[in-house]
Structure 1
Amino acid sequence: MNRRHFLASASAAMVLPRPSFASALPLTLKAQSVTQQILPEGEGTTAMLGFNGSTPGPELRLKRGAQASIKVENALQEGTAVHWHGIRLENRMDGVPVLTQDLINPGDSKTYSFVPPDAGTYWYHSHYISQEQVARGLMGPLIVEDDMPVDVDHDVTVILSDWILNQDGSLVDEFTDMHSVAHAGYMGNFARAFLSRDEVRQGDRVRLRLINAATNRIFPLMLSGVSGSVVALDGMALSQPRDLSDLVLAPAQRADLIVDITGPVGFDMQTGQGGYRLAELRVSGENSERKPGPLPKLTAPNLPAPGSPAQHLTLTMMGGAMGGHHGGANIWSFNDVSDLPPDPFATIERGETVRITLANDTAFPHGIHLHGHHFYEVAADGSLGDLRDTTLLAARESRDVLCVFDNPGRWLIHCHMLSHAIGGMRTWVEVT
């Protein structure tokens, strides 16, 4: 689609379904076929998959430290499973077929029960043929609320995604096209942001929760009409707020912002040809009661501090177009092994600190996601950097991470460019 058509998506904000709160237990998510208005109003609709009649699915609001119970009903014609991305939960609730559970077959259901230990911004999505089911719409936001509400006027969730669409709005089924899998992955010709509200006031203080739910697209973002800071990444509060510039989200990454509204808010994806408008947040009226002041701080993460590493592992990303020879049997591999091996990449005693060198020996970027844990990115000077559950590595880039593996079970590690995952970039560790 041409640039004019792409920019037309900003004409109206797509408002997310109303939140579902954990007080109404159990919550229910029904995976089913849906018809969604992805293109601007007045243009064609799109046949997709979704939860509870829409995509994205409803925003789930959970209490930190409180038992959550979520029943997933499968009304599809194929199996599915749901992963609660970024939540440090019990292994058998992680939602990964083969490693942690059986498929939820058509007509069946499964109830996931867990206690979220960390407040923050997370999301849920299919983890079965996810390069297709997520692209078709099986995903939604999951918010673990702060113990003490943050002093803002509005809390707004923003979900980013993209699709390959025909002019009539129908979805192009190229989820496993081998050319895409070997290159940057399934990349849409149309993108937009879904917002949980479409209007604020001048002078409001707003928490923006940004979630990249695209299967492969990296979103370099620029916001207009706001002043403020990044206050959390991947659900984990930053020790110091960070400038809004250079805001880049790989697939599955999240960022929390606290901003003051200075005008209509534009969400733009930066490209070599300029900015593409993904959504707008309208301004109506003025907040005369909100006085300027320092941004509130979020509660610091309560994770164990890393000790001396008991192991130093290297995980090398290999393969793909222009990637050279590798020993894996698929398009991509980790350490010359494609797809889930029968034995773990590493066996780790519970509580051990492990240093992992992530080496991208390919011509494309990769967003590496570790299930069930967060890890520290190690800065160039050796100091501890950000806490993440997904780290973005540019082509030919390497980065060390430090992780305290305190959550027992079999945990998946994979590229969250989901085309690369289905192309072989998957492995696992066992924490005993």
Structure 2
Amino acid sequence: MARIGPMTSPKFLLSRRDLMAGLGAAGLATAWPSTGFAQAGRPVLQLEGKAESLQLRPGAPATPVWGLGEPDLKFKRGDIVEVGWKGITGVSPLAKPNWRGVDGAPDVEPLPAGLSKVTKLMPLRHAGTFHCDLELLSDGQRPSRSYALVVQESEAVAVDRDEMFLIEDWRIRPDGTGASPGSDPADAMRIHTINGKASFDLSARRHDRVRLRLINGSQRSVIAIKLEGVDVKVMAIDSQPSEPFQARNGALVLAPGGRADVFVDLIAPEGTTAAILLHDGKEARRVGGLVVSGDPPIRPAPLPPAPPLPSNDLPERIELKGATRVDLALGDSQGEWVAPTKFNANAPPAFRAKRGRTVVLALTNRAAIATVFHLHGHHFRLLDKLDDGWKPFWLDTLAIEPGQTQRIAFLAEHAGRYLIESVATDWAAPRLVRWYAVE
């Protein structure tokens, strides 16, 4: 399974090229708090964009950001969530929550609308780890927060701890203000946070099984996460279950917006700490650790190997014969790709597809650096070079090296209008969007 890039242990030496090689090769029973319900029995999620501030550096001024407060984003598979949205006055009408990985929910697509306050339905067809952000709002304006959306499986999953690991990166100036993505960071300092804090440290008992939901909430950066000295079993990629496999040297590479669910069985002696390292292509640094506590083991022996996570019922095979085939060039801001603030809903779509038809996209990166493509509304397979097969996992986000072409295929299962995104892996690069239709 080649989403995992080569990592050198224990020093974890990586270059930017190593990070991208890792991506190119791949393409990479908890009780939740209750949520309010509408009269019809549907969960209700009221969101409002607002100006907030975060203390990102000790002793430094707080940084102004866009945010959503502290919403409860934990649901169950099969929920149809009533999402109420109140936007921010004076900000682009495209400024709505950007739900990464939620398939077949055209009502909540961040496409322009005439109302600043709307209520839409978001069906949660799949269980998994999803990502909500305000990236389309924050480009060129001010930094914004990211949020994890968790949809529980209908079936029980044999884990003792279920923990979020949401990575965000920031560019903070000496006066505390943040450089927004899509702008020149100039003298800004680069800062990473884990779940909004400087580090992530978790203490668990021996023989605990921990599920870590890894989200790269960075705006532009490809990163690698390494857990030293433990076996890391990858269970899901980009919100979709995969056949379980071992992460090479305990390391995973994630594109911006990419997600991975991993299981870690703590079998080391009490008092042992597994360091968690983050590598951004320039250097690695410790951002936390998993500590085996001195409490008695939770059970006499480790759990048996974990079975695959329950299927989300995506098709096992995609029929490529007779597919709708489209060539898409990325990294061309002078073409039909536009910044979100210039998006025109009346512009022709990048492509149209009949519902139930396979779509094959040939994605060519014309930029001078790696570019990340994100498909809304559907998950795709990364095709082999000769279109004679595909990688054995689903994705919704893919990083592509400069000058390279990658082909992806998806079943146009859900009717509606959906965005596609393209952004180069550079903080100052503009985020570009187009849209496609399934009819």
Bin for the TM-score computed over the shorter chain: 0.7 to 0.9
For the structure 1 residues 283 and 416, does the alpha-carbon distance in structure 2 shift closer, same or farther, using more than 3 Å as the test? farther
Q: Runs of 5+ in structure 1 lacking a partner? A: 1-17, 321-326, 333-337
Displacement after TM superposition at 1:400 (Å):
0.9
Work out whether residues 373 and 421 of structure 2, in 8 Å CA contact, stay in contact via their aligned partners in 1: yes
Verify: 1:359 aligned to 2:388, yes or no: no
For the structure 1 residues 384 and 187, does the alpha-carbon distance in structure 2 shift closer, same or farther, using more than 3 Å as the test? farther
Give the match for residue 23 of structure 2.
none
For the structure 1 residues 59 and 160, does the alpha-carbon distance in structure 2 shift closer, same or farther, using more than 3 Å as the test? farther
Verify: 1:315 aligned to 2:332, yes or no: no
Secondary structure of the corresponding residue to residue 211 of structure 1? strand
Poorly superposed stretches of 4+, deviation over 6 Å: 185-188, 329-332, 338-341, 418-422
Deviates more, 1:140-149 or 1:83-92: 83-92
Deviates more, 1:211-220 or 1:341-350: 341-350
Counterpart among 305, 310, 317 of residue 294 in structure 1: 305
Displacement after TM superposition at 1:352 (Å):
0.3
The code of the aligned residue for 2:328 comes to: L
Displacement after TM superposition at 1:68 (Å):
1.4
For the structure 1 residues 387 and 51, does the alpha-carbon distance in structure 2 shift closer, same or farther, using more than 3 Å as the test? same
Counterpart among 194, 199, 203 of residue 200 in structure 1: 203
For the structure 1 residues 248 and 34, does the alpha-carbon distance in structure 2 shift closer, same or farther, using more than 3 Å as the test? same
Aligned residue pairs total 387
TM-score, length of structure 1 as denominator length: 0.78
The code of the aligned residue for 1:199 comes to: L
Give the match for residue 89 of structure 1.
104
Displacement after TM superposition at 1:77 (Å):
5.9
Displacement after TM superposition at 1:241 (Å):
2.2
Verify: 1:66 aligned to 2:74, yes or no: no
The code of the aligned residue for 2:297 comes to: S
For the structure 1 residues 174 and 124, does the alpha-carbon distance in structure 2 shift closer, same or farther, using more than 3 Å as the test? closer
TM-score, length of structure 2 as denominator length: 0.77
For the structure 1 residues 402 and 207, does the alpha-carbon distance in structure 2 shift closer, same or farther, using more than 3 Å as the test? same
Deviates more, 1:406-415 or 1:135-144: 135-144
Give the match for residue 22 of structure 2.
none
CA shift digits 1:234-276 (9 cap, x unpaired): 0011123242445111111101101123443433222566412
For the structure 1 residues 62 and 244, does the alpha-carbon distance in structure 2 shift closer, same or farther, using more than 3 Å as the test? farther
> Distance in 2 between the 1:87 and 1:330 partners?
23
Give the match for residue 381 of structure 2.
376
The correspondence of residues 38-187 of structure 1 with structure 2, limited to 5 A, is 38-40=56-58, 42-52=59-69, 57-74=70-87, 78=91, 80-94=95-109, 96-98=110-112, 101-102=113-114, 104=116, 109-126=117-134, 128-132=136-140, 136-167=143-174, 170-177=176-183
Work out whether residues 360 and 394 of structure 1, in 8 Å CA contact, stay in contact via their aligned partners in 2: yes
> Distance in 1 between the 2:155 and 2:187 partners?
40
Verify: 1:269 aligned to 2:278, yes or no: yes
Displacement after TM superposition at 1:392 (Å):
1.4
CA shift digits 1:42-86 (9 cap, x unpaired): 55432322222xxxx445111111221233344666453112221
Give the match for residue 243 of structure 1.
247
> Distance in 1 between the 2:162 and 2:366 partners?
40
Work out whether residues 419 and 435 of structure 2, in 8 Å CA contact, stay in contact via their aligned partners in 1: yes
Deviates more, 1:257-266 or 1:226-235: 257-266
Give the match for residue 36 of structure 1.
54
More strand by share: 1
Work out whether residues 156 and 195 of structure 1, in 8 Å CA contact, stay in contact via their aligned partners in 2: no
CA shift digits 1:117-136 (9 cap, x unpaired): 11000021226434257x62
CA RMSD of aligned residues (A): 3.4
> Distance in 2 between the 1:420 and 1:63 partners?
35
Counterpart among 208, 214, 219 of residue 210 in structure 1: 214
> Distance in 2 between the 1:29 and 1:283 partners?
38
For the structure 1 residues 370 and 214, does the alpha-carbon distance in structure 2 shift closer, same or farther, using more than 3 Å as the test? same
> Distance in 2 between the 1:44 and 1:277 partners?
25
Secondary structure of the corresponding residue to residue 313 of structure 1? strand
> Distance in 2 between the 1:242 and 1:339 partners?
44
> Distance in 1 between the 2:165 and 2:107 partners?
29
Verify: 1:343 aligned to 2:348, yes or no: yes
Work out whether residues 131 and 215 of structure 1, in 8 Å CA contact, stay in contact via their aligned partners in 2: no
CA shift digits 1:130-169 (9 cap, x unpaired): 4257x6224311011011231111101111111111345x
The code of the aligned residue for 2:349 comes to: P
Give the match for residue 257 of structure 1.
262
Verify: 1:228 aligned to 2:217, yes or no: no
Secondary structure of the corresponding residue to residue 355 of structure 2? coil
> Distance in 2 between the 1:20 and 1:75 partners?
28
Identity of aligned residues (%): 25
Work out whether residues 58 and 141 of structure 1, in 8 Å CA contact, stay in contact via their aligned partners in 2: no
For the structure 1 residues 299 and 60, does the alpha-carbon distance in structure 2 shift closer, same or farther, using more than 3 Å as the test? same
Displacement after TM superposition at 1:420 (Å):
8.8
> Distance in 1 between the 2:229 and 2:405 partners?
36
> Distance in 1 between the 2:73 and 2:121 partners?
14
> Distance in 2 between the 1:130 and 1:211 partners?
19
> Distance in 2 between the 1:280 and 1:161 partners?
17
The code of the aligned residue for 2:179 comes to: D
Give the match for residue 430 of structure 1.
437
Work out whether residues 223 and 278 of structure 2, in 8 Å CA contact, stay in contact via their aligned partners in 1: yes
> Distance in 2 between the 1:339 and 1:162 partners?
30
